[in-house]
């Protein structure tokens, strides 16, 4: 598993496939991510409303599964929905999950 | 109606004819003439001349999208752009079938204002997220969904 996903995770994807952070329907924050590492960095910086908006719509898991092709991480993020986290607690959880996953992939 | 530097100068009669056409472009020359107290041949001549000089650009149909059921969400999108890329962003928007109108505006920052239609909120979001946000030079986007239309006329 580690060998299969790692190259895609490290790779920077084209602009049109990047993740664009919105705070609600049609309201783009100006922040985007073109790799998992960049995505993790944005999680720490972006308006927390954007994290709530995308998590509960299933946008994060969809992008990670379909664009980064990392089903394992997508599933971990999907599971986070059932805890109904909001605000900085959600931000910390998301960041920790992705950081741990990146460490696992690159170790 | 006079030509000044190859530009047609309109008089009160021309403006009244335009006003009548804007209310109903399908009414006859005779009906317009009666309303304005002038001969139908005068109405005809003036309309033809305004068409030739492209003061009247075209006759079109305003569709009540709410009643067609096909596209029932209208939104006004304000796109903040890098000034160097704004022309290109506006041109790309003009090519999208979901976009009905595109304008630029300069307040504190350069903005593009676009009127967009979509079937529902989800397809509106998909269009903005997949086709507008990724355009080079787009800095951020604010979108307001129209909840009620009070007036719509085109000059």
Per CB-CB distance under 8 Å, the chain A contacts of B136 are 15
For the entire predicted model, the pTM comes to 0.76
Q: What are the domain boundaries of chain A?
A: 2-106
Question: Is B71 domain-assigned?
Answer: yes
Same domain, B84 and B38: no
Q: DSSP string spanning chain B?
A: -EEETTEEEP-HHHHHHHHHHHH-TTS-HHHHHHHHTS-HHHHHHHHHHHHHTTSS--------HHHHSS--EEEEEEEEE-TTTHHHHHHHHHH-TTEEEEEEEESSSEEEEEEEEESSHHHHHHHIIIIITTSTTEEEEEEEE----------
Same domain, B71 and B126: yes
- Residue B28: which CATH number? 1.10.10.10
Question: Is B154 domain-assigned?
Answer: no
Q: Report the DSSP beta bridge partners of residue B104.
A: B112
ipTM field: 0.85
- For residue A1, is pLDDT > 60? no
Q: How confident is the model at residue B61 (pLDDT cuts 50, 70, 90)?
A: confident
Same domain, B92 and B22: no
Question: Is B58 domain-assigned?
Answer: no
Find the domain containing B141 and state its range.
Answer: 65-145
- For residue A5, is pLDDT > 60? no
- pLDDT at residue A3 in the model: 47
Size of interface A-B (CB pairs under 8 A): 42
Q: How confident is the model at residue B110 (pLDDT cuts 50, 70, 90)?
A: confident
Same domain, B137 and B74: yes
Same domain, B74 and B140: yes
Asked if B134 is an interface residue toward chain A (Cβ–Cβ < 8 A), one would say: yes
Question: Is B150 domain-assigned?
Answer: no
Same domain, B42 and B89: no
Question: Is B153 domain-assigned?
Answer: no
Q: How confident is the model at residue B62 (pLDDT cuts 50, 70, 90)?
A: confident
Per CB-CB distance under 8 Å, the chain A contacts of B80 are 30
Q: How does pLDDT run across A14-69, given as a tens digit for each residue?
A: 989 999 999 999 999 999 999 999 999 999 999 999 999 999 999 999 999 999 99
Evaluate whether A50 touches A24 at the Cβ level (below 8 Å).
no
Are the beta carbons of B136 and A15 separated by less than 8 Å?
A: yes
- pLDDT at residue A105 in the model: 85
Q: How many domains does chain B have?
A: 2
Per CB-CB distance under 8 Å, the chain B contacts of A26 are 75, 77, 124-125, 128, 141-143, 145
Residues in CB range of B27: below 8 A, 6 or more apart: B20, B21
């Amino acid at each position: 598993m580690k060998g299969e996903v790692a190259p895609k995770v490290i790779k920077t994807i084209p602009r049109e496939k990047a993740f664009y952070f919105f705070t609600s329907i049609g309201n783009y924050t100006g922040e985007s991510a073109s790799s998992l590492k960049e995505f993790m960095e944005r999680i720490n910086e972006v308006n927390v409303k954007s994290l709530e908006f995308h998590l509960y719509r299933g946008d994060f898991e969809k992008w990670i599964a379909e664009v980064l092709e990392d089903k394992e991480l997508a599933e971990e993020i999907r599971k986070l929905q059932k805890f109904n986290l909001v605000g900085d607690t959600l931000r910390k959880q998301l960041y920790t999950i992705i950081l741990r996953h990146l460490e696992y992939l690159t170790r | 109606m006079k030509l000044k530097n190859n530009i047609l100068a309109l008089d009160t009669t021309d403006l009244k004819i335009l006003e009548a056409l804007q209310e109903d472009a399908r009414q006859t020359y005779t009906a317009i003439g009666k309303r304005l107290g002038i001969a139908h041949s005068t109405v005809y001549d003036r309309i033809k001349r305004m068409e030739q000089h492209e003061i009247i650009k075209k006759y079109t149909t305003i569709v009540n999208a709410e009643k067609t059921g096909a596209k029932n969400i209208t939104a006004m999108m304000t796109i903040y752009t890098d000034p160097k890329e704004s022309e290109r962003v506006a041109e790309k928007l003009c090519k999208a079938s979901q976009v009905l109108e595109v304008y630029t505006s300069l307040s504190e920052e350069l903005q593009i204002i676009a009127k967009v239609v979509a079937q529902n909120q989800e397809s509106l979001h998909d269009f903005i997220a997949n086709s507008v946000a990724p355009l080079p030079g787009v800095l951020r986007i604010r979108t307001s969904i129209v909840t009620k239309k009070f007036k719509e006329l085109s000059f």
